[in-house]
Amino acid sequence: MPGIYPRREQHVKEGFGVKEQSQPAGPQGTPVDQLPGGTGLSRIDPNDPAAPNYELVAQLRGALSLREMMIEPVRTGYLGQDEHIDPKLLPPPPDELFPNVAVEQAYAPSPDGPIRCEVFRPEGAPSNLPVMLYFHGGGFMVGSSEDTEFLTRKMCVQNDLVVVSVNYRLAPEWPFPTGLDDCVAAYRWVLEQDDALEDVDKSRIVFAGDSSGSNFAAAAALRARDAGLPLPAAVVMLGPVCDFNFEQYESFNRLAPKGIVYDSAFVGFLRGAYVGHEDWAHPHVSPIYADLRGYPPTMLVVGTADPIVDGAHAFARKLEEAGNRGVELFVSEGMPHGFYFFPRLFREEEEAYEAVEKFLKKHLTGVG
C-alpha cells in the first residue's frame, strides 16, 4: 500500500504511469526501479501485418495497450497521490514520530544495475544489530521505500535493528520474476556487504513486507534456500499474500467483490499484470504450494475484514503441517487490509507491532 505523506525525495519511474522528479543515480549507473522499458511492455512490430491497426488504436486511446491506460490511474490515484490532502486529516509524518533514525541511500548490485535501497538505523545504537530486509507493498505495481517509511522506522526503533528497504522493479513493466529477482539480489548484497553494513549481525537477518511485499518476503526465503544461501532467521508477513488462487477462499469471495482497500477487480488486474495464469501455483508466486519443510519461523498479521484472511490461516496451517514450530498468526477482529499502515488510527495497529516485537525478540535474541 503506497503512502499518503509528501515524499522526502522523488524518483523517476519510466514506463507506464507517472513520471516523477529524478535524483542522481548511484555510482554504478541507473537504479533498476528507474530503468525505462521493461519485458512487460507491448511494442508494435513494423513487420506485423496488423501494425497499422495497432498504430491507429494507440492514437485513438493515447496509449498502446489497455494495461498502459489502466496502470496510470492506479499509480496516481491509489491513495489520491495527485490530490491535496488536508494536513489535519493526516497522522504525524514518520520522521516526527521516530526522529532518532538515520536514513541513507545504498545500492545493491545486480545483473541489470544497482538496486536502490534505503537503510534505516537507530541513532546511537550499538554495533552487531540484526537486519530486517523490508519489501514494500503496492499490489506488485505501485510503491517505494519512501511510502512505507512509517513501517520501517517503527520496526527499526521498536525492535532495535537495521532495516534495509528495497526498491524492486514493478509490474506490469517488469512481470514475475523480475521484482523477486531484485529482492534476492538485495539479500545477496546484505550477506556480502562489508561497507555500508559492516557493523550488523548477518546471522540475524529477517525478511519482512506488507501486502505484495509480504509475498516477496515469503518467496525470497524459498529462493534463498533454492540458491544455497542462508535462510533468514525469521519471516514477517503483514497482510500476507500467500496464494494467487484467491477465489478458493470463502473470505475472498465474501469480502472482495465490494472491498474498499482493494477489491476483486483490482486483484484481477494485479494478478494479470504480475504473472501468467500458468504460474499462479508456482511456489515463488504462491508460497503455500512450496515444500515448507525447514522454513524459517514465520509471523502473519491480518485482519478479519481482509479478504485474504482465510489464505493467511491456510498458510499458517501448511507451515505447521511441515513441522514449523515457530508459526504465529496475529488476527485482529474487524480490521481491514493495511490496518498496520496508519499510525494512531487504530489501537489494533499498535497491538500488531507489539506482537511482532515479541516474535522478533524470541527468534532474534531467544527471549520470550
Which pLDDT band holds residue 18 (cuts at 50, 70, 90)?
very low
Rounded to the nearest angstrom, the gap between the alpha carbon of residue 153 and the centroid of all alpha carbons in its chain is 15
CB 146 within 8 A of CB 7: yes
Task: Report the C-alpha gap between 174 and 165 in whole angstroms.
Answer: 19
CB 311 within 8 A of CB 239: no
pLDDT(62) > 70? yes
Task: Considering only residues 317 and 83, tell me which one the structure prediction assigns the higher pLDDT.
Answer: 317
Identified catalytic residue from 110, 144, 165, 211:
211
Helices 178-192 and 212-226, interaxial angle, to 10°? 60
CATH class of 94-365: alpha beta
The pLDDT of residue 75: 87
Q: Is residue 337 flagged as an active site residue?
A: yes
The pLDDT of residue 17: 36
C-alpha cell at 308: 485474504
pLDDT(85) > 80? no
Identified catalytic residue from 33, 147, 210, 306:
306
The residue written with cell numbers 500467500 in the block is 242
State mean pLDDT over 209-218. Answer: 98
pLDDT above 70 as % of the chain = 90
**DSSP string for residues in 39-74:** TT-----TTSTTHHHHHHHHHHHTSSSHHHHHHHHH
CB 355 within 8 A of CB 330: yes
Model pLDDT for residues 219-267, shown as the tens digit of each residue: 999 999 999 999 999 999 999 999 999 999 999 999 999 999 999 999 9
Instruction: Pick the closest to residue 340 from 253, 206, 240 (CA basis).
Output: 240
pLDDT(364) > 50? yes
The pLDDT of residue 81: 55
Residue ranges covered by each domain of the chain: 32-88, 94-365
Whole-model pTM?
0.91
The residue written with cell numbers 496502470 in the block is 71
Model pLDDT for residues 109-123, shown as the tens digit of each residue: 999 999 999 999 999
On the CB side of 137, how many CA atoms lie within 13 Å of its CA? 26
pLDDT(273) > 80? yes
The pLDDT of residue 125: 85
State mean pLDDT over 272-301. Answer: 97
CB atoms within 10 A of CB 96: 9
Average pLDDT of every residue of the chain: 90
Instruction: Pick the closest to residue 168 from 333, 34, 302 (CA basis).
Output: 34
C-alpha cell at 15: 514506463
Task: Report the C-alpha gap between 128 and 31 in whole angstroms.
Answer: 28
Task: Report the C-alpha gap between 194 and 47 in whole angstroms.
Answer: 51
SS (H, E, C) 11-23: CCCCCCCCCCCCC
The pLDDT of residue 179: 98
**DSSP string for residues in 143-188:** --TTTTHHHHHHHHHHHT-EEEEE----TTTS-TTHHHHHHHHHHH
Which pLDDT band holds residue 82 (cuts at 50, 70, 90)?
low
Task: Report the C-alpha gap between 70 and 75 in whole angstroms.
Answer: 9
Identified catalytic residue from 11, 136, 313, 337:
337
